[in-house]
Structure 1
């Protein structure tokens, strides 16, 4: 066996860390949070678990600032993380880059995966977009027949171009069956070929409400349509896969109706169309560049010296926690020692002995008056000395010199500002009385 085949522990852990980071890369993981800790450094440490296993996680403050909720024990979350190894202890762990509640996180992950897949196939490319007819002869509307979106579209068309014929293809726009019905309605409109432009959409809602417009079947049906399609889903801030695939995106159903209707603002309509085309092109370009940036960032992270700094920051947090525990233990031991000494001092108090001497003095007063006086003076002198010694070690004397003792609402002595949190109630004992306060 050569020396090259003999590993040190630190070399082994370093090799295993590189192996985990390079082979596994980025992983998505769902689990329940437990043992959540947030030291003063701003980093988060916690455990993700399910019914059979658990894994340690670290999320550093540069990433956890983007989390939109306060994690706590029991939360079900979806995380994006890198597999790594904490070399000083040999513990394998996850370095978490993003965190979302499980439900919203799963939908967002599916959205991003489908978006990247369809973008790679070219379904978002501007070259595949069909131009809208300059003067539509008949408009098709694919939406719910009872939804507010339909009435908004019809109101706009009636106001701007009452003579423009409208064909309504009613369909569900929410729920498990909605995606299939929307795709069938688009296919039916193409088969009948009675309209020269289609508006597909609905009113606003949550990500889950709009999810049928993020369905792959709907996206591919829109891309295959021979009739130009305007996607008009939700409000202006809502973005769906249908918006990227459609020939044009309208921020609202009403805006879609304005795009297809004729009035004196046809120049503005042409400008809006060009603007929408430019927006679609920019979104497609940004999507491709973001994907490339993510790949380059991941490669850079694996080779960046910040990985060593992150490990050292985690080790520093661990040492700070151990130091704090050791200091608290030392203080508690000293407090218990003082209590034992105070108890022993009380047991040896001269008060009981003086009472016995006083009773003996009364019984023998007529015979030993002068002797008892001398004895009493001697005892009083001893008592004064003992009292002086007692006063020297008394906590009250310390308080009289201007010191004070601060305790929390459970009676714990406060020795370090890191023990405190905003809103804690404190009691400060002085030589005479006490002061109650609240941390702000």
Structure 2
């Protein structure tokens, strides 16, 4: 079967495309979990694992981002992170690149706030077309807040100063705690069922994110959106923003400002201008939010193509190689140390100094054996020589001479075997057992 070359992936190409797919398709995610296996190498980057009771995922937070973390993380911490999905290409490990981190408590509330805000915005609850205009001349104002709070006092004080004749109906409710959201929704429903007011002020004084959380509950937001009576949200101070502010028909920065918005005043046009400016601000806020989201997506796509992303990958790979090199060096040193110990033991075992006593003893034994062998060999040679001398004596001409025989030689040294071999006047030498006789034939 023939395959086109562009259908055949290398491992590096596959990992690169999977990384881009994860980063471009998933975008930014919020993740909560427990920190474990936290590592902080000399590069300053953080590597750790986020886990829950059933799963875990590897994480990397680079130095430029972890500098903004306001607490010191440790193993066992429960945290909320804002991150993007990625893939560490050299090992093919799925991981997340953390961009921000905060403790789970405040972070979880902020995450829930953002999630609900995005959900309701997608459903159109924040749309300007859903907003109801406030009545120019309200006949009765309803106030939904705590009967003992400072917010009620501020609202009543402003209404009395601006329009003492304006009737007010108070719907007391809790504005903090576990049951507050249900009570606020019930109060709004009760005001709608009675239909005795032209406008409602829903709010309380300032506080922490947790204190104001009941105004971020979905039940309150949907009840405000479903109200047939225009609602002014007056929660906290000017810097406090809740989901109720986005859903309400008008948002007032403070409870006192809400009272000014709904009360009669000579400067009606100024009030209308404020309302219209607020609505315009909402429109621009939504437009700005959409453009900001689009800008964020474009920045994210640009970041994926930016050398910084590649540098982050390489920085992580460098940290990994540094750890592997350190482990390899330690293992090599341990192996060489063990090998050196074995060689030292072996060298000591074969050292001349340790072998010298044994060799000396062996040399003494060999010397004794050599002397004994030489003596034995000498005795054998002496005995053999004696035997040969006896044999030689038995066949020696000298022995024959000793028995009375003699040997005569001519002047050339040849043995005279016959009398005819000499003539008169020849000199001969006769050898006897004890000497020689020189004579002349006559």
Q: What interval of TM-score do these two structures reach, taking the shorter chain for normalisation?
A: 0.5 to 0.7
Unaligned runs of 5+ residues in structure 1 are 332-440
State the 1:301 CA deviation: 4.3
**C-alpha contact (below 8 Å) 1:59/1:97 kept by paired residues:** yes
Question: 2:138 aligned with 1:131, yes or no?
Answer: no
Q: Note if contact 2:140-2:196 (Cα within 8 Å) is conserved in structure 1.
A: yes
Indicate how the Cα distance of structure 1 residues 305 and 262 shifts in structure 2: closer, same or farther if over 3 A, else same.
same
Instruction: From 306, 311, 314, give the equivalent of 2:313.
Output: 311
Q: Tell me which of 60, 76, 79 is aligned to 1:58.
A: 60
CA distance in 1, matches of 2:325, 2:19: 27
CA RMSD, aligned part only? 3.2
Structure index of larger Rg: 2
Q: Secondary structure at the match of 2:161?
A: helix
Distance change >3 Å, CA 220–CA 7, structure 1 → 2: closer
Contact 1:119 1:284 (C-alpha < 8 Å) held by counterparts: no
Contact 1:143 1:170 in 2 (8 A): yes
Structure 1 distance, partners of 2:227, 2:9, is 63
| Residue 190 (structure 2) pairs with residue 188 (structure 1) | yes
In the alignment, which residue of structure 1 is the partner of 2:81?
79
**Hey, what does 2:95 align to over in structure 1?**
93
Q: Does 1:248 align with 2:250?
A: yes
When residues 126 and 23 of structure 1 are mapped into structure 2, their CA distance, relative to the original with a 3 A threshold, is closer
Which residue among 172, 196, 199 is the counterpart of 1:197?
A: 199
Matched, 1:115 2:109: no
Q: Does the C-alpha gap of structure 1 residues 7 and 131 become closer, same or farther in structure 2, counting only changes over 3 Å? A: closer
What's the offset of the Cα at 1:180?
Answer: 2.2
Decide whether aligned partners of structure 1 residues 94 and 132 sit closer, same or farther in structure 2, where only a CA change above 3 A counts: same
Give CA-to-partner distance per residue, 1:216-248, whole Å, 9 cap, x none. Answer: 222222122222111001111110111111111
Would the alpha carbon gap of residues 210 and 321 (structure 1) be closer, same or farther in structure 2, given more than 3 Å must change?
Answer: same
Give a deviation string over 1:268-299, Cα, whole Å, max 9, x none: 43333233222222222222223333444444
Match among 265, 280, 284 for residue 282 of structure 1: 284
Summarize the Cα distance change of 1:52–1:265 in structure 2 as closer, same or farther, 3 Å threshold. Answer: same
TM-score w.r.t. the length of structure 1 is 0.66
Separation in structure 2 between the aligned mates of residue 9 and residue 289 of structure 1, nearest angstrom: 38
- The aligned residue for residue 365 of structure 2 is none
| CA distance in structure 1 between the partners assigned to 2:291 and 2:225 by the alignment | 22
- What is the match of residue 216 of structure 1? 218
- Once residues 259 and 216 of structure 1 are traced to their aligned partners in structure 2, the CA distance between those partners, rounded to angstroms, is 26
Change (3 A) 1:191 1:54: closer
In structure 2, the partner of 1:348 is none
Q: TM-score, normalised by structure 2?
A: 0.66
1:95 & 1:83 partners in 2: Cα distance? Answer: 6
- The 5-angstrom pairing of residues 135-214 of structure 1 reads 135-214=137-216
Q: Distance in 1 between matches of 2:159 and 2:17?
A: 68
Q: CA deviation at 1:66?
A: 4.1
- Taking the TM superposition and a 5 Å limit, the aligned residue runs for 1:11-90 are 11=13, 13-18=15-20, 20-21=22-23, 24-39=26-41, 41-90=43-92
